[in-house]
Copies of this chain bind each other. A is one copy, B any other.
């Protein structure tokens, strides 16, 4: 299960965060799978082909077959860790019809009047879809905690509330996969410099990003608690070594692939009489060949 050529170990096993175990690798590591960009590109293309077939089956199952299953990929990570790049390169492999992307920015005043999960629930993928959260409900125990936007008594219970929410999703048919894009402070510095020094990337920079960077160790602590307290059986966290973009894309694509293989979505059997339909078209076609068009 979840094993294929070039990958003798399940990527999910290798990258999964286990409570109490911390992050099982460094940001530049390549603990399983390709060791070079070229190998990763080849692996990604292969993965993409199989992913595409499985995605179609999931979509058909959920759209035409009465199935209730879906997949939700949660992406979290520091600025420049590659959430957008992952969406572009991994989800570019899939049929856009079956993908829903939700980006969670600073909540609006209307959103703030509700429970922190209110705006999240509205974006949970429906049957057949693969949803992606670009940031998520985890911001409510990350930036909210680091910047002290609410007191500890308010964010502290959220770990349990999140675990309950994700267990509900699992129960309702949504497989939740959470990826923490783990970059190093050095790599972030390089990427911030590259943004500032490349005119067509300057729009990506926001002076606030440097203020956030200054709180790096606070975020490390906040992420450590998130990974420790919310990597559950129902909704595990995977820590993705993200200093190398090719490894990040490859490993997230593989985690999705292993997830879909487990789901093993099935095309529904026809609910009509195939032979009768064929006969109708072959013998009683109201449009004789060549008559119209």
Residues of A at under 8 Å CB distance from B? 27, 60, 64-65, 84, 87-88, 91-92, 94-97, 99, 101, 103, 134, 183-189, 192-193, 196-197, 200, 202-203, 205-207, 210, 213-214, 216-217, 220, 267-270, 272, 274, 277-278, 280-282, 285-287, 289-293
Residues from chain B with Cβ under 8 Å of A277 in the complex: 196, 205, 207, 210
Q: What residues of chain B lie closer than 8 Å to A99, measured between beta carbons?
A: 96
In whole angstroms, how far apart are the Cα atoms of A274 and B216 in the complex? Answer: 22
Question: What 6 additional pairs, Cβ within 8 angstroms, besides A60-B203, A87-B95, A203-B268?
Answer: A96-B99, A196-B278, A197-B278, A202-B269, A205-B270, A205-B272
Q: Is the CB of A278 within 8 A of B193?
A: yes
In the complex, the answer to whether A189 meets B285 with C-beta atoms within 8 Å is yes
Residues on the B chain within 8 Å of A193, using CB: 278, 281-282
The answer to whether B274 and A202 have CB atoms under 8 Å apart is yes
Smallest Cβ distance from A262 to chain B, in angstroms?
20
Residues on B with beta carbons closer than 8 Å to the beta carbon of A216: 286-287, 292-293
A196-B278, A220-B292, A293-B183 given as contacts; is B91 within 8 A of A203 (CB)?
no
Docked pose: A62 CA to B242 CA in angstroms:
29
Is the pair A292, B185 in contact by a Cβ cutoff of 8 Å?
yes
Q: A88 near B97 (CB under 8 angstroms)?
A: yes
Contacts of A272 in B (CB 8 A): 205-207
A27: which of B210, B213, B293 is its contact (CB, 8 Å)? Answer: B293
A97 contacts across to B, CB distance below 8 A: 84, 87-88, 101, 103, 134
* Given A268-B203, A274-B196, A293:B184 Cβ within 8 A: yes
A87, A184, A217, A292 — most chain B CB neighbours (10 Å): A292
The 8 closest A-B pairs by CB, nearest first: A184-B293, A185-B293, A185-B292, A214-B286, A202-B270, A185-B287, A91-B96, A88-B95
- Considering the chains assembled together, what is the distance between the CA atoms of A285 and B200 in angstroms? 23
Q: A193-B278, A281-B193 are in contact. Are A88 and B84 (CB under 8 A)?
A: no
